[in-house]
């Protein structure tokens, strides 16, 4: 009667990391009930264990390149890489949370479940092959974050941060649904490769006079707005500083890397797989082309992303200069870093059109691969570096949330030389100094942008990087050259936080010195994307 596919046909094993984590989370919710209140560290250990298992399960995904569950899910190197980033980020976040939650008096076993829910949301986002999945994964990654931001009940700032994030996030979700509906209306499908094929058309080129184009453009714009909110791109960044400041610091740390990775995973999936060839205005160039000739034209959304990226980099970096609270400064710097990654997304939008024969064209998003590599490596580098920076900030933070001002870093090198050294390294990585992972990420992104012909954007990127050096170096100066005004011990400098800092430091250093480790993993990714599309 009903055609039920067999288990083998469902191809569930390629989705194993996500499924495992989701199932484990629901089990953890129940297990946690039987763990006494003073031994919640067991929950944290279980969480880390599950994340490690998910990490291992994720390794085969790099070479799978298969779809599962009615084409809704795809396991490729891109998904594998996003999973790797977010799992690593989550492990560091758990390490950061253990003591912080306890000393802030907000230790709940559910915190870890919520974190894992969010992580599995990001993992599904990385593997989403359908607009519906992108949307639901977006919600699954966001809703636990809203709650986690408001976890500190007695603090008005935390509550404000939760409600602000929630309301604006709900607004952004509505944008996404509207955009997805328009894209569906114009193409008749929600499946990303199908959308791609619907746009590419039968003869390999989009008919510009096609009236559905306007809906595709509006839909794409709305998707960019929604995901731009998640990654905190200007002008959708308003929530970021307040939310980052009010939320408990480990949550902020996770938000700045996890939600960002999720948002970019969604953006890259939709833009690279679904809409790369959305070209509205060919001009007369196409008509006058000779057979065999090749021209490059910008995708309809490239200019928009160009502007957003430029605004984000400029705004984020310049406002960060004036911040005196390091947590807030990192929030603005996180906005700025979103700008650099957006630059990579914009680079995808350069489309090459070749006239093969009369009325037969091919359209290729030629720079998708290098842009994708840049964005992913940048995300990886940023995850390690930023979580490391947050770990250090947290170790100086007092139980009431104070202690994160710039002055509190004065003389840190004398009090805690190792921590100060690592902090200095993180700051250098955030600037993008060679031998750090941050450098590799920036290098790849600038390279992709130049290839794609986005020269002015690259110049803006380089200049704002230089600007960013000012406020990052200021922390180093405070740590090494100024004398300490306060002498009290850093309460947060516990073993777990130290582990977290060391893991982050190791990641930043290793991927800075041996970038090929990441690039080799990705080498298959670009090829897979290419075979998928063309």
Q: Which residues bind other proteins (CB under 8 A)?
A: 2-5, 9-10, 15, 22, 25-26, 29, 68-70, 72-73, 105-106, 108, 110-111, 113-114, 117-118, 120-121, 124, 130, 132-133, 136-137, 139-140, 143-144, 146-147, 150-151, 153, 162, 185-189, 198-199, 201, 210-215
Nearest CA-CA partner of 253 in 170, 330, 323:
330
Q: How does 3-22 read in b/e, with b if 16+ C-beta sit within 10 Å?
A: eeeeeeeebebbbbbbbbbb
For the record, the structure tokens of 307 come out as: 């502007």
Distance CA 58, CA 84 (A): 7
Bond prior to 235 in cis (omega within 30° of 0): yes
Phi (first) and psi of residue 68, to 5 degrees: -145, 160
Using the minimum distance from each CB to other proteins, give the nearer residue, 40 or 328.
40
Q: Rounded to the nearest whole angstrom, what is the least distance from the CB of residue 138 to other proteins in the complex?
A: 10
175 vs 227: CA distance, rounded Å: 9
Q: Is 3 or 488 the residue whose CB approaches other proteins more closely?
A: 3
Tell me how far, at minimum, the Cβ of 49 lies from other proteins, in Å: 20
- Using the minimum distance from each CB to other proteins, give the nearer residue, 126 or 507: 126
Q: How many CA atoms lie within 13 A of 409 on its CB side?
A: 26
Q: Which is nearer to other proteins, 124 or 472 (CB)?
A: 124
Shortest distance in whole angstroms from residue 135 CB to other proteins: 8
What one-character DSSP code corresponds to residue 256?
A: I
Return the number of the residue (159 or 242) whose C-beta is nearest other proteins. Answer: 159
CA nearest 491: which of 385, 402, 384?
402
Give every CB contact of residue 21 below 8 A, 6+ residues apart in sequence.
50, 51, 54, 116, 119, 120, 123
Nearer to other proteins by C-beta: 165 or 340? Answer: 165
Q: Least Å distance between CB 153 and other proteins?
A: 7
In DSSP terms, 325 is beta-bridged to: 405
Identity of the residue, 147 or 342, whose beta carbon is nearer to other proteins in the bound complex: 147
In whole angstroms, what is the distance from residue 485 CA to residue 480 CA?
13
Backbone angles phi, psi at 142, to 5 degrees: -85, -45
CB 227 within 8 A of CB 275: no
Give the shortest CB-252-to-other proteins separation in angstroms: 17
Nearer to other proteins, 106 or 326 (CB): 106
Quote the least distance from Cβ 381 to other proteins, whole Å. 29
Rg (CA), the chain: 23
Q: Supply the minimum distance, in Å, between the C-beta of residue 143 and other proteins.
A: 5
Q: How far is the CB of 261 from other proteins (least distance, A)?
A: 18
Q: Do residues 402 and 157 lie in contact, with contact meaning Cβ atoms separated by under 8 Å? A: no
User: CB-wise, 70 or 402, nearer to other proteins?
Assistant: 70
Under 8 Å between Cβ of 315 and 271: no
Sign for the CA dihedral angle at 287, 291, 293, 299 comes to: positive
User: Taking the mean position of all CA atoms in its chain, how far away is CA 405?
Assistant: 26
- Residue 10 or 433: the one with the smaller Cβ distance to other proteins is 10
**Dihedral over Cα of 412, 416, 418, 422: its sign:** negative
Give least dist CB 273 to other proteins, A.
16
Q: Which C-beta is closer to other proteins: that of 150 or that of 257?
A: 150
**Smallest gap from residue 76 Cβ to other proteins (A):** 16
In sequence order, the 6+-apart residues with CB closer than 8 A to the CB of 33 are 109
Q: Is 67 helix (H, G, I), strand (E, B) or coil?
A: strand
CA distance 1 to 17: 32
């100086």: which residue's tokens? 396
Closer residue to other proteins in complex, CB, 6/359: 6
Task: Give me the least distance between CB of 127 and other proteins, in Å please.
Answer: 9
Instruction: State the nearest-atom distance from the C-beta of 226 to other proteins, in Å.
Output: 16
């Amino acid at each position: 009667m009903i055609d039920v596919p067999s288990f083998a046909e469902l191809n569930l094993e390629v989705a194993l990391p996500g499924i495992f984590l989701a199932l484990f989370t629901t089990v953890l919710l129940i297990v946690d009930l039987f763990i006494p209140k003073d031994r919640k560290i067991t929950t944290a250990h279980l969480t880390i264990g599950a994340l490690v298992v998910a990490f291992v399960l994720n390794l085969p995904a790099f070479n799978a390149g298969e779809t599962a569950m009615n084409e809704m899910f795809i396991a490729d190197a891109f998904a594998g890489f996003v999973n790797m980033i977010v799992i690593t980020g989550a492990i560091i976040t758990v390490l950061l949370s253990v003591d912080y939650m306890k000393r802030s008096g907000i230790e709940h076993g559910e915190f870890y479940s919520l974190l894992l829910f969010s992580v599995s949301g990001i993992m599904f986002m990385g593997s989403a092959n359908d607009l519906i999945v992108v949307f639901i994964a977006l919600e699954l990654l966001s809703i636990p974050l809203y709650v986690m931001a408001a976890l500190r009940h007695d603090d008005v700032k935390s509550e404000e941060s939760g409600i602000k994030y929630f309301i604006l996030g709900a607004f952004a979700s509505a944008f996404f649904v509207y955009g997805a509906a328009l894209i569906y209306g114009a193409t008749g499908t929600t499946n990303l490769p199908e959308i791609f094929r619907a746009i590419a058309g039968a003869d390999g080129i989009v008919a510009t006079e096609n009236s559905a184009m306007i809906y595709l453009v509006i839909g794409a714009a709305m998707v960019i707005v929604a995901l731009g909110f998640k990654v905190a791109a200007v002008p959708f960044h308003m929530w970021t500083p307040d939310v980052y400041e009010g939320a408990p610091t480990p949550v902020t740390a996770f938000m700045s890397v996890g939600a960002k990775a999720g948002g970019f995973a969604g953006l890259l999936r939709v833009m690279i797989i679904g809409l790369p060839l959305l070209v509205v205005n060919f001009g007369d160039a196409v008509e006058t082309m000779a057979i065999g000739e090749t021209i490059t034209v910008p995708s309809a959304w490239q200019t928009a992303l160009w502007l957003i990226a430029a605004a984000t980099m400029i705004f984020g970096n310049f406002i960060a200069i004036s911040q005196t609270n390091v947590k807030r400064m990192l929030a603005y710097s996180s906005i700025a870093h979103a700008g650099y990654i957006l630059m990579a997304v914009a680079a995808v939008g350069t489309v090459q059109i070749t006239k093969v024969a009369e009325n037969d064209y091919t359209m290729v998003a030629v720079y998708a691969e290098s842009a994708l590599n840049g964005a992913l490596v940048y995300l990886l580098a940023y995850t390690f570096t930023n979580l490391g920076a947050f770990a250090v900030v947290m170790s100086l933070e007092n139980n009431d949330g104070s202690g994160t001002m710039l002055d509190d870093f004065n003389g840190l090198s004398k009090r805690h030389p190792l921590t100060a050294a690592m902090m200095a390294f993180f700051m250098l990585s955030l600037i993008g100094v060679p031998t750090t992972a941050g450098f590799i990420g920036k290098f790849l992104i600038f390279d992709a942008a130049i290839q794609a012909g986005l020269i002015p954007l690259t110049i803006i990127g380089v200049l704002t990087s230089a600007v960013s050096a000012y406020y990052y170096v200021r922390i180093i100066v405070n740590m090494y050259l100024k004398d300490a005004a306060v002498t009290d011990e850093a309460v947060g400098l516990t073993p777990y936080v130290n582990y977290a800092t060391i893991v982050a430091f190791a990641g930043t250093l290793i991927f800075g010195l041996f970038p090929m480790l990441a690039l080799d993993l990705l080498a298959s990714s670009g090829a897979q994307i290419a075979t998928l599309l063309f």
